[in-house]
Amino acid sequence: MLDRSTLKHAQIEKVRYKYFSQKDAFEEGEAFINSLTGEFIHDDRGKLRESKGLPILLDLNEAETNVLKLIAEKKRTAKETAELMRMEEGNAKRILDNLVKKKLLIKFVDERKNEVYNHGNIEMELPPTPLHEILPSIGKRQITEVDSAILVQPVLSEKEIPELLKKLWGSVTVKEITHLFLPIWEGVLKKRTGEERRGP
């Protein structure tokens, strides 16, 4: 039974950055990240949508991130991964096996007796480039100022964002991070035993 509810706010990080593109030129981009979930947040025809998989990258290095993105697209062998990553097959296998240990990939043997790596239950839906059109879409929404706000504890800190974007896209330099606040209602459910459970 709903006992009470409280209006709180999740901090949205508005990130402005420069990206060194393949055209050998710097281009400016903008993205919004929900610090409560650690995911990109954008406007999809009037509804708020979020990416899938961005917080997973926090505990990975750049090589692991790139390999994970490859396997998220399609299951591959260590040899195929090595060719795409332009590295020795032994190095690719070591990275793949580390991702298996972290339970981000699964490994199996196919009908040709090849060891194959797949993404398992991990979902990754991330913008392929830092200039993707959906990233700045929230900026087109009407913004209302608030005098004060009760914030929900974030899972992603502002300090983690520059490194996270570099892992995802490479040549990205964060220039500025400002904050917006997304209103959410936190409800408290109370059982007959008196036990309480909180949640948005």
In the chain the domains, ranked by start, together with CATH numbers, are 2-51+127-199 (no CATH), 58-118 (1.10.10.10)
Q: Are the beta carbons of 69 and 53 closer than 8 angstroms?
A: no
Grouping H, G, I as helix, E, B as strand and the rest as coil, residue 179 is strand
| Side chain identity, residue 125 | E
Region 67-78: what's the mean pLDDT?
93
Would you give the distance in Å from CA 54 to the centre of its chain? Answer: 1
**pLDDT confidence of residue 6:** 75
In the structure, what pLDDT confidence band is assigned to residue 21 with cuts at 50, 70 and 90?
Answer: confident
100-139 pLDDT, tens digit each: 999 999 999 988 889 999 988 788 899 999 999 999 999 8
- Report the distance separating Cα 101 and Cα 99, nearest Å: 5
**pLDDT confidence of residue 144:** 64
Task: Report the percent of the chain where pLDDT is more than 90.
Answer: 60
Q: Are the beta carbons of 176 and 28 closer than 8 angstroms?
A: no
Residue 146 is classified by DSSP as -
**pLDDT confidence of residue 2:** 47
Region 52-58: what's the mean pLDDT?
93
In the structure, what pLDDT confidence band is assigned to residue 190 with cuts at 50, 70 and 90?
Answer: low
